[in-house]
């Protein structure tokens, strides 16, 4: 599995590459933004670890270019600036995770593995229920053909409803599927989850009926 | 003291100027008054003189004779203060009031029109006298006609007038002084306003003087604003340099950690452990400095409104949801529309980012972020359904003055930035048990930032410490 490491520091870059190689990845090391952009554009990587402070072209611009050109491999941002504002900026630019420097190598390798695992799904038959279409391999959702930015949990919730079309699922049943428990507090939490999800996908996409539970409208 | 006070200087100048003006006015009035009453007396004497002149003749011996005399009894009363006298070179005639005295003959008494003058007269009195020469019909030489009155009553009237005028002008001086005081106070009021506004600038580099100043003060306000802008820019540059320095040390620290890892792999475990501890201390020091620099910048840096706060919270949640920590959690956000907090967006992102991440770390399935306005307070609650701090730990944390980062390891609240930012924005932190079951962190700010606010917030801090 090929991973692109973009880091200009002469010690950190090779060390990171080495650690990822030891973890079983095939690693390419890039030391400036323009080179990284080119490689990410023409090569097929499973993931990129991207430093933000790069010569020639800064990391955030590289990431934006990749995303605007349709390159969708997961990107883990590695940066000396680990402010929340920058994390938010990075995620909004299309990054999938953010690690601040200095970092523990073990933690970084674990986060790389997690990202790769999550993104490993290949394109698969789409599951269309009502106005919702789920790509079960990539774990992405569209509503009326508009792509939605869902959290993994929100995706799992929609996936659960989509697999039981035409049936109301009660909160405790959903809680049990999502968290493995069905106590009353978790049922309340499901209400909060639906509230948030409705704000993202629209108020009519998830239908609820008192005493019965939830289902995708029109399924 | 007068040198130090613009008000006193203006008042002293006004007092002196008004005094000089009133003295000049008083002197002028006195002179006009005296001239007026003298003129009246002289006119009365001339009237009598003309009466005498009507019946004036010269007898055969060449002495003047007054066939007609004025009716005023005082001409017949010795030393009464009202006299007439007719004089030729051959002799003279005078009123009975002169008794055995004469009116003095002065050089220049040969004019042929009425002329008034003061001079010492009989009975030791000073006189106002009118005189002229008249040539009666068939007379060989002109007769000098003199009429005089004692000018003592004139002087007494003038003194009386002066006394009353001085009293009036004195009162007028006091009244004008009060008016000047009011005028100076009103005139200086915009300066007091500017001074009060500058006091808010002192604590807040981002603040500026508002507009609406009088035309004379506006350039001053503009100059102060320009200064504040320069100061803010300087502060910003200094903080940026400090932040850049701290950030620039992070990559070398990562490089040191990498080399340390190699050393450990090469067998130098003990040395690597020691280095790791030193690296951790350096990292902690850097984070603390960065938090401090951010907190210093956060002091009254601005306000965030409800929509803004909600967007920031959603952005933070979007980051956390992507991590292993947050991907299984349900986030629940409630912000009332009227909420606003005295923290600028970027700082609020840091503050809430640290707290929501901490809540996510301990939550079982749910993290709730709520906002609310109570009385004069803006409040934010960050809750989770995790194990919570426990009553004793909460109290222990609160007893240390709610510095979460001093709570020590064990409850995962190593959040230097939270304490520093709350302190910098005059906010308070309270820890408690959430109805969700876990920890509830309550942030509160007084939102009416009147001059009394710092005192209130100090009181709140005291309350927080002693709760």
CB contact under 8 A, B315 and A103: no
Q: Are B191 and B217 in contact (CB under 8 A)?
A: yes
- Cβ atoms of B122 and B101 within 8 Å: the answer is yes
B322 CB within 8 Å of a chain A CB: yes
Instruction: Pull the structure tokens for residue B367.
Output: 């993290």
How far apart are the C-alpha atoms of A10 and B105, rounded to whole Å?
A: 127
Give which of B316, B132, B270, B431 is closest to A87, Cα–Cα.
Answer: B316
Question: Which chain B residue has its CA at the smallest distance from A103's CA?
Answer: B254
- What percent of chain B lies above the pLDDT cut of 70? 87
Answer yes or no: do A92 and B255 touch at CB < 8 A: no
User: What six digits make up the tokens of B422?
Assistant: 């709350």
Average per-residue pLDDT in chain B? 82
Looking at residue A75, what is its pLDDT?
Answer: 92
Helix extents (H) in B266-414: 269-298, 306-321, 345-362, 391-399
Q: Is B225 within the bounds of a domain?
A: no
Among B250, B254, B437, the strongest candidate for a mutation testing the A interface, having the largest count of A CBs within 10 A, is: B254
pLDDT digits (tens, 9 = 90+) for B332-344: 888 888 888 888 8
Structural domain tally of chain B? 2
pLDDT at residue B45 tops 80? yes
- Residue B224 covered by a domain: no
- Smallest CA–CA separation between A53 and chain B, in Å? 10
**Cβ pair B254:A186 closer than 8 A:** no
Question: Would an 8 Å CB–CB cutoff place A180 in contact with chain B?
Answer: no
- Stretch 412-441 of chain B: residues touching chain A, C-beta under 8 Å: 436-437
| pLDDT tens digits along A106-126 | 888 888 888 887 776 554 567
Phi, psi of A131 (to 5 degrees): -90, 0
In whole angstroms, what is the distance from residue B373 CA to residue B338 CA?
Answer: 8
Q: Which of B156, B175, B192 corresponds to the end of one domain?
A: B156
Do the beta carbons of residue A154 and residue A200 sit within 8 Å?
yes
Residue B362 lies in a domain: yes
B313: its two tokens: 């919270």
**pLDDT number for residue B48:** 94
When pLDDT is cut at 50, 70 and 90, the band that residue B43 belongs to is: very high
What distance in Å separates residue B462's CA from the closest CA in chain A?
30
Is A195 in Cβ contact with B332 (below 8 Å)? Answer: yes
Rounded to two decimals, the ipTM of the complex is: 0.77
CB B362 within 8 A of CB B400: no
Residue B248 has pLDDT above 80, yes or no: no
Q: Which phi and psi angles does B413 have, rounded to 5°?
A: -115, 45
Q: Which of B252, B239, B346 is nearest to B296 (CA)?
A: B239
Crossing angle between the packed helical segments A84-92 and B306-321, to the nearest 10 degrees: 70
Chain A contact present for B350, CB below 8 A: yes
How far is B123 from B81, CA to CA, in rounded Å?
A: 9
- Interval B313-338 mean pLDDT: 84
Say yes or no for a CB contact (<8 Å) between B259 and A87.
no
- Whether B455 maps to a domain, the answer reads yes
Is residue B315 domain-resident?
Answer: yes
pLDDT recorded at residue B464: 42
Cross-chain Cβ contact B251/A193 below 8 Å? no
Q: Which of B96, B131, B156 is the last residue of a domain?
A: B156
pLDDT at B87: 92
Output the CA angle A24-A57-B250, nearest 5 degrees: 65
Q: Average pLDDT of B73-94?
A: 92
Name the β-bridge partners of B86. B93, B145
CB neighbours of A40 closer than 8 A, spacing ≥ 6? A4, A48, A62, A66, A71, A73
pLDDT of B465 over the 70 cut = no
Say whether pLDDT at B171 is over 90: yes
DSSP 8-state secondary structure symbol assigned to residue A169: B
Looking at every residue in chain A, the average pLDDT score rounds to 84
- Chain CA centroid to CA B433, Å: 50
CATH class of the domain whose range is A126-216: mainly alpha
Mutate to test the interface with B, among A54, A78, A85 (most CBs of B within 10 A): A85
Do A47 and A119 touch, CB atoms closer than 8 A?
yes
Q: What is the CATH number of domain A2-119?
A: 3.40.50.2300
Instruction: Tell me the pTM.
Output: 0.57
| B231 domain-assigned | no
CATH number at residue B435: 3.30.565.10
Identify which of B256, B329, B349 has the shortest CB distance to residue A153.
B329
Residue B281 included in any domain: no
Angle, helix B345-362 to helix B306-321, in steps of 10 degrees: 40
Task: Look at residue A191 and tell me whether its pLDDT is greater than 80.
Answer: yes
Residues B132-167 have pLDDT tens digits of: 999 888 888 899 999 999 999 999 999 999 999 999
pLDDT at A175: 84
B203 pLDDT above the threshold of 90: no
- The answer to whether B86 touches B93, Cβ cutoff 8 Å, is yes
Q: Does B14 touch chain A (CB under 8 A)?
A: no
Provide the pLDDT for residue B416. 65
- With an 8 Å Cβ cutoff, are A114 and B316 in contact? no
pLDDT at B409 over 50: no
Q: Which tokens sit at B30?
A: 């006195």
CA distance A192 to chain B (A): 5
Q: Which residues of B touch A54 (CB under 8 A)?
A: none
Q: CA–CA separation, B143 vs B164, rounded Å?
A: 43
Return the bridge partners of A2, or none: A26
Mean pLDDT on B390-396 = 62
| Contact: A96, B322; criterion CB under 8 Å | yes
Chain length of chain B: 467
Out of B254, B327, B350, the one facing A102 most closely (by C-beta) is: B254
Cα–Cα distance for residue pair A154/A141, rounded to 1 Å: 10
- Using the beta-carbon criterion (under 8 Å), do B316 and A88 form an inter-chain contact? yes
d(CA B96, CA A67): 132
A190 and B CB contact within 8 Å: yes
Structure confidence at residue B412 (pLDDT) = 39
d(CA B27, CA B145): 34
User: pLDDT tens digits for A143-156?
Assistant: 888 888 888 888 88
CA distances to B70, B98, B99, B128 from B122, in Å: 20, 8, 10, 12
Unique residue bearing structure tokens 């959903």 = A174
Domain with B417, as residue range(s), is 302-466
pLDDT of residue A7: 92
Is the pLDDT assigned to residue B402 strictly greater than 80?
Answer: no
B297 domain-assigned = no
Provide DSSP, B30-74.
HHHHHHHHHHHHHHHHHHHHHHHHHTEEE-TTS-EEESS----GG
Structure tokens at B324: 């292993």
- Residue B389: its pLDDT value, please? 75
Region of poorest pLDDT, from A80-84, A213-217, B351-355, B423-427:
A80-84
Average pLDDT over residues A25-50: 90
In the predicted structure, residue A51 carries a pLDDT above the cut 60? yes
Mutation for testing the A interface, residue in B259, B288, B330 having most A CBs under 10 Å: B330
In this complex, the residue of A91, A185, A190 whose CB is nearest that of residue B322 is A91
Which has the minimum average pLDDT: A100-114, A179-193, B155-169, B387-401?
B387-401
pLDDT tens column, B88-142: 988 999 999 998 888 988 777 777 889 999 999 888 889 999 999 998 888 888 9
Pick the residue of B365, B417, B418 with the most A CBs within 10 A to test the interface with A by mutation: B365
Calculate mean pLDDT across residues B434-462: 63
Which pLDDT score, from 0 to 100, does residue A101 have? Answer: 80
Domain boundaries, chain A: 2-119, 126-216
| Average pLDDT of the segment spanning A182-202 | 81
**Rounded-to-integer distance, Cα A55 and Cα B394, Å:** 47
Domain end (from B140, B156, B172): B156
The two tokens of residue B355 are 């707290």
B111 touches chain A (CB under 8 A): no
3-state secondary structure B320-336: HHCCCCCCCCEEEEECC
B349 to chain A, any CB pair closer than 8 A? The answer is yes
Residue B197 or residue B323, greater confidence: B197
Using a CB-CB distance cutoff of 8 angstroms, which residues of chain B are in contact with residue A91?
315, 318-319, 322
Residue of B254, B321, B436 lying closest to A12 (CB–CB): B254
Provide, rounded to the nearest whole percent, the portion of chain B with pLDDT above 90.
29
Q: Which residue in B273, B386, B297, B382 sits closest to B346, CA to CA?
A: B297
The pLDDT score that the predictor gives to residue B390 is: 67
pLDDT tens digits along B9-21: 999 999 999 999 9
Buried-state track B58-78, b at ≥16 Cβ within 10 A, e below 16: beeeebbebeebbeeebbeee
B52-61, B153-162, B277-286, range with the lowest pLDDT: B277-286
Give B212 or B301, the one with higher predicted confidence.
B212
């Amino acid at each position: 599995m090929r991973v692109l490491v973009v880091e200009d520091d002469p010690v950190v870059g090779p060390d990171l590459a080495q650690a990822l190689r030891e973890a079983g990845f095939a690693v390419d090391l890039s030391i400036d933004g323009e080179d990284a952009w080119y490689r990410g554009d023409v090569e097929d990587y499973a993931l990129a670890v991207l430093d933000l402070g790069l010569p020639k072209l800064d990391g955030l611009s590289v990431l934006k270019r990749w995303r605007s050109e349709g390159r969708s491999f997961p990107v883990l941002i590695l940066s000396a600036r680990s402010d929340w504002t920058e994390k938010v900026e990075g995620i909004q630019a299309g990054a999938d995770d953010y690690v601040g420097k200095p970092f523990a190598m073990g933690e970084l390798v674990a986060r790389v593995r997690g990202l790769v695992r999550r993104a490993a799904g290949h394109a698969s038959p789409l599951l269309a229920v009502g106005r919702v279409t789920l790509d079960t391999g990539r774990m992405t959702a569209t509503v009326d053909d508009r792509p939605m930015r869902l959290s993994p949990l929100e995706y799992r919730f929609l996936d659960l409803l989509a697999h039981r079309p035409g049936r109301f699922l009660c909160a405790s049943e959903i809680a049990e599927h999502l968290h493995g428990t069905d106590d009353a507090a978790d049922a309340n939490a499901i209400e909060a989850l639906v509230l948030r999800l409705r704000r993202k996908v629209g108020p009519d996409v998830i239908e609820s009926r008192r005493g019965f539970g939830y289902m995708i409208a029109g399924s | 003291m007068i040198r130090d006070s613009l008000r006193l200087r203006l008042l002293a100048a006004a007092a002196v100027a008004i005094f000089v003006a009133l003295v000049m006015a008083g002197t002028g009035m006195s002179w006009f008054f005296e001239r007026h009453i003298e003129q009246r007396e002289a006119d009365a004497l001339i009237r009598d003189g003309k009466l005498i002149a009507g019946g004036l003749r010269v007898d055969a011996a060449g002495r003047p004779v007054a066939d007609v005399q004025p009716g005023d009894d005082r001409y017949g009363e010795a030393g009464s203060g009202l006299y007439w006298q007719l004089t030729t070179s051959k002799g003279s005639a005078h009123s009975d009031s002169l008794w055995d005295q004469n009116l003095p003959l002065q050089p220049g008494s040969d004019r042929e029109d009425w002329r008034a003058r003061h001079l010492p007269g009989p009975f030791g009195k000073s006189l106002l006298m009118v005189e002229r020469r008249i040539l009666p019909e068939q007379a060989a030489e002109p007769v000098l006609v003199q009429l005089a009155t004692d000018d003592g009553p004139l002087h007494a009237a003038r003194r009386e007038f002066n006394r009353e005028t001085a009293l009036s002008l004195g009162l007028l001086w006091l009244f004008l002084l009060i008016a000047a005081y009011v005028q100076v106070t009103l005139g200086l009021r915009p300066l007091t306003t500017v001074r009060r506004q500058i006091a808010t600038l002192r604590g807040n580099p981002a603040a500026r003087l508002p507009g609406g100043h009088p035309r004379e003060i506006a350039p001053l306000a503009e100059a102060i604003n320009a200064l504040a802008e320069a100061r803010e820019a300087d502060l910003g540059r200094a903080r940026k340099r400090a932040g850049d320095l701290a950030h620039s040390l992070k990559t070398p620290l990562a490089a040191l950690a990498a080399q340390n890892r190699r050393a450990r792999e090469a067998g130098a475990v003990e040395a690597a452990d020691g280095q790791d501890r030193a690296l951790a201390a350096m990292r902690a020091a850097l984070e603390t400095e960065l938090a401090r620099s951010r907190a210093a910048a956060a002091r009254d840096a601005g306000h965030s409104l409800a929509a803004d706060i909600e967007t920031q919270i959603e952005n933070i949640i979007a980051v956390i949801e992507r991590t292993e920590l947050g991907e299984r959690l349900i986030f629940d956000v409630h912000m009332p529309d009227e909420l606003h907090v005295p923290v600028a967006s970027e700082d609020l992102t840091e503050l809430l980012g640290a707290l929501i991440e901490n809540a996510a770390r301990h939550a079982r399935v749910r993290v709730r972020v709520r906002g609310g306005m109570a009385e004069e307070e803006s409040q934010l609650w960050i809750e989770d359904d995790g194990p919570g701090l426990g009553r004793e730990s909460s109290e222990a944390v609160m007893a240390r003055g709610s510095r979460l980062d001093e709570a020590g390891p064990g409850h995962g609240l190593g959040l230097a930035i939270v304490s520093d930012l709350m302190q910098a924005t005059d906010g308070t932190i309270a820890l408690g048990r959430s109805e969700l079951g876990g920890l509830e962190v309550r942030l509160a700010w007084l939102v009416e930032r009147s001059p009394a606010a710092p005192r209130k917030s100090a009181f709140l801090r005291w309350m927080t410490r002693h709760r």
